Amino acid sequence: MEVDSLLRPRSNTSSAPEATEEPGAVVLPHHGGVPPSGHALPPSSGGRWLPRLLLVGGAVYAVAMLAWSSQNLNVVRTGSDSAASESNVPAFDQQAKQQQEGSGMDLAAILKAANDQETDAQQAQEKQQNNQETEEDTATYEVTPIPTQAAIDIPMEATQVREALRLAREAVVAKMEGDGSMSSLPSASGSQMSDEVRREQEAEEQARDALLLPKGETKPRNLKCLGWKSTGGCSPYGPRKPKNDFSCTKMVPHGHSGYCEVEDTDTGERFRVMRRYCSSSKWDMSFRCSDASNFVNFHYKAREAADNALTPGFTLPNIQENATDKQDEKQRDGIVMVVYPKLIPSAYATIKTLREVLGCRLPIEIWYRSAEMNADPNAMKPLTALAADNQTSTMSFHQITDWHASGYGAKVFAIYNSYFERILFLDADNTPSRDPTFLFSSPEFVENGAMFWPDFWHPGRTIFNIHSQSLLWELIDMPFINMFEQESGQLLIDRRRHAEALELVKFYTFHRPSHFDYMKLVHGDKDLFRLAWLKLGAPFHMIKAPPALAGKTINESFCGLTMVQHDAQGEVLFLHRNSHKLMGEPLREEIDYRTRAIARSRKKAEIRTRYRNEGKEIPPWSELDALVQAEETPAPTIEPPESDGYPDSIVWTHLLSFNPTSKQENYYVKTYNADPEFPKSQNCYGERNVSKSEHFYAQEVADLPFSRLETDLRRFAAEAVEIKKA
């Protein structure tokens, strides 16, 4: 596969895009670690001859100078899950070793990436077809070379870095000249030289001494910010544009390419960090170069956190040192779930379905934050009623004691502190279609100790801006990995085996300042698990089948409302109702609370006046509230009632699945509004007109093995609300 099409710089835009797309991206799932590969980069096609001829001479010289280097940046392929020590994603404990083994640089790769050639689509398809024919069950993913990678992934001497940066700049300039985006400045010399030309020349001279941080360092540096250095060509390796520079405290807006320049106060060296393409961050994210020191030193601190788990005798909380007797073995596996008041009907429905419909007897831990539950004292009643039932007595309740563990941090806290050794984490609104107990004995989990599931999004189509040019990769000091993003509504993890990775996930989640959050590099916790595993080279199995969508079809208009995940054989296993949650009561229109509060006050005054005139004792305010609420007319329902009488609407009429004969780069989930068939406020996913899609196909849920699952869930959710009100 030609990798350059993944790296094409995007132009600036002032509005939020629906999703980021990388043309030509071939997305392959990941199964475990990746062994090193010796394949050379495929040749590029097409081009503009004059600028290339000028670059070839310099490239030949540089490559000859480094001919002894045997290292290459290339497309990586693996035939099996492998241990962390075999991964070519540099793990913490491998980087020092790489530094000692010498330095090397494939300058042809950096030129190729920076010059941004068009992808030879036919060659890429032929290569993918050959791979599929020879290795049908091979687990693969691809590491794409970009200038940042070429510079930071392979140790180099300072002279090599200068040469690499020079060639990368010339490649960007050649492209800018070819597409006409290079501004033409009047030629001048001496005193006639314009101030702008002089500033640009001075900036270029100064930039030659601003290098890249050496690879493999294990100690943080004392860095001082010098400011934002703007570049052209939507590339951090483009020509300097000093008129667009910013001070350290100035917000760098979206769409500006360049880098933060910092100085090592101990050595006086200057470095380029936080290198940004125009599309390296989301459209609504800005940052200051004053953050550069914390940004750079983040991965050093992450190393220290992960190293804690390598200390002799270290174990995660609540892991027994010797689980030998049968009772311990029986209790080592279980389901972990985090709840808050709004999710109680969903959690109740999922647990009741697991027990009464699917026959699952795995013990279940319920984790909660007392501050959230105290706001609604009756919220937990349905779950405590389940726990009191003899058939569901293997439920336990655990309070989240760390006040930092809010939002998605609650999930990480629960997994890290679980009393189970091997856990299946389930979001409360995520229901298995079958008893999931078999997952703990599946070959994929036994071999790797972790199983993850893909999200809708991948580098060729992402709403979270995770692609080859994202700042994410520099933050975590890791090369870009071309694979599906992760969906963390379900996670299967052996906590004893993966203590180091979970320690790193914990650091990623709770370290402050959170670069992931304020720079919007990832969304919540969903990608933190795979990133931690990849960073450490730890094995995991990523389910190959992309998510399907369960939704409703009205007048041939489909609206996907539930993410559907598969097992390793491609059969439906989880239905995550993340876009239309179970409420256990009718979904009603939003209420104008200010208007309602005014109306209630007036009504209370009327009741007090009436009681006073009738000589009755005036009720206290708490009773007046109850009287007023009893007389209120509920807000209109948004959806019509269902014929079976259950309050939640039916939203699973069809299952939209990806065609197994289609290539995975054609997996393209749209986001849209399906008005008038569906409310304007409802976000839909999938393909609105399924009949026009060649890569997706629809099935009626009524014809599938889990056809009655939604009815059971809706019935149990309504039951939960009744228990709460009782």
- pLDDT per position as a tens digit, 100-139: 343 333 444 444 444 443 333 343 344 444 444 333 333 3
Residue count (the chain): 726
Q: Among residues of the chain, what percentage have pLDDT more than 90? A: 58
Look at the block and give the residue holding tokens 């001279």: 205
Q: Over the stretch 457-497, which tens digit does the pLDDT of each residue have?
A: 999 999 999 999 999 999 999 999 999 999 999 999 999 99
pLDDT at 102: 38
- Give the lowest-confidence range in 15-29, 273-287, 610-624: 15-29
pLDDT at 155: 62
* Residue 664 covered by a domain: yes
State whether 702 and 671 are in the same domain.
yes
pLDDT at 315: 92
Q: Are 559 and 411 in contact (CB under 8 A)?
A: no
Nearest to 143 by CA among 534, 631, 583: 534
pLDDT at 85: 36
Work out the pLDDT band at 625, boundaries 50, 70, 90. confident
Residue 554 has pLDDT above 50, yes or no: yes
Q: How far apart are CA 218 and CA 544, in angstroms?
A: 35
* Residue 603 covered by a domain: yes
Residue 568 has pLDDT above 80, yes or no: yes
Work out the pLDDT band at 391, boundaries 50, 70, 90. low
* Residue 390 covered by a domain: yes
Residue where one domain finishes, among candidates 395, 420, 445: 420
Residue 694 has pLDDT above 80, yes or no: yes
Residue where one domain finishes, among candidates 402, 420, 438: 420
Q: Over the stretch 491-518, which tens digit does the pLDDT of each residue have?
A: 999 999 999 999 999 999 999 999 999 8
DSSP 385-422: HHHHSGGG--EEEEE---TT--TTHHHHHHHHH-S-SE
Collapsed DSSP state (helix, strand, coil) of residue 235: coil
State whether 664 and 613 are in the same domain.
no
State whether 603 and 713 are in the same domain.
no
Q: Over the stretch 23-61, which tens digit does the pLDDT of each residue have?
A: 444 455 555 543 333 333 333 344 444 445 445 455 444
pLDDT at 594: 74
Residue 233 has pLDDT above 70, yes or no: yes
State whether 702 and 605 are in the same domain.
no
State whether 648 and 566 are in the same domain.
yes
State whether 671 and 574 are in the same domain.
yes
Q: How far apart are CA 12 and CA 23, in angstroms?
A: 17
Mean pLDDT of 134-145: 38
pLDDT at 103: 37
* Residue 370 covered by a domain: yes
Instruction: Count the neighbouring beta carbons within 10 Å of the beta carbon of residue 627.
Output: 12
* Residue 706 covered by a domain: yes
State whether 718 and 661 are in the same domain.
yes
Bond into 676 cis (ω within 30) = yes
Backbone conformation region of residue 24, classed left if phi is above 0, alpha if psi is from -120 to 50, else beta: left
Give first-to-last CA distance, the chain, whole Å.
62
Work out the pLDDT band at 187, boundaries 50, 70, 90. low
Q: Are 279 and 285 in contact (CB under 8 A)?
A: no
Residue 24 neighbours by CB under 8 Å, 6+ apart: 2, 5, 6, 119, 121, 124, 460, 665
> What integer best gives the mean pLDDT of the chain?
80
State whether 709 and 682 are in the same domain.
yes
* Residue 720 covered by a domain: yes
Work out the pLDDT band at 593, boundaries 50, 70, 90. low
Look at the block and give the residue holding tokens 């700049």: 169
Q: How far apart are CA 25 and CA 10, in angstroms?
A: 15
DSSP 589-658: PPP-HHHHHHHHHHHHHHHHHHHHHTTPPPPPHHHHHHHHHHHSPPPPBSSPPPTT--SSPP--SEEEEE
Q: Among residues of the chain, what percentage have pLDDT more than 70? A: 73
Residue 539 has pLDDT above 70, yes or no: yes
* Domain, as residue range, for 653: 549-585+639-725
Work out the pLDDT band at 336, boundaries 50, 70, 90. very high
* Residue 662 covered by a domain: yes
Q: Are 401 and 372 in contact (CB under 8 A)?
A: no
Q: How far apart are CA 331 and CA 325, in angstroms?
A: 10
State whether 614 and 713 are in the same domain.
no
Total domain count, the chain: 3
Residue 147 has pLDDT above 60, yes or no: no
pLDDT at 225: 98
State whether 655 and 562 are in the same domain.
yes
* Residue 290 covered by a domain: no
State whether 567 and 651 are in the same domain.
yes
pLDDT at 452: 99
Residue 544 has pLDDT above 60, yes or no: yes
Nearest to 152 by CA among 65, 217, 222, 196: 217
Residue 10 has pLDDT above 60, yes or no: no
State whether 695 and 581 are in the same domain.
yes
Residue where one domain finishes, among candidates 631, 659, 694: 631
Q: Give the type of residue at 684.
A: C
pTM above 0.75, yes or no: yes
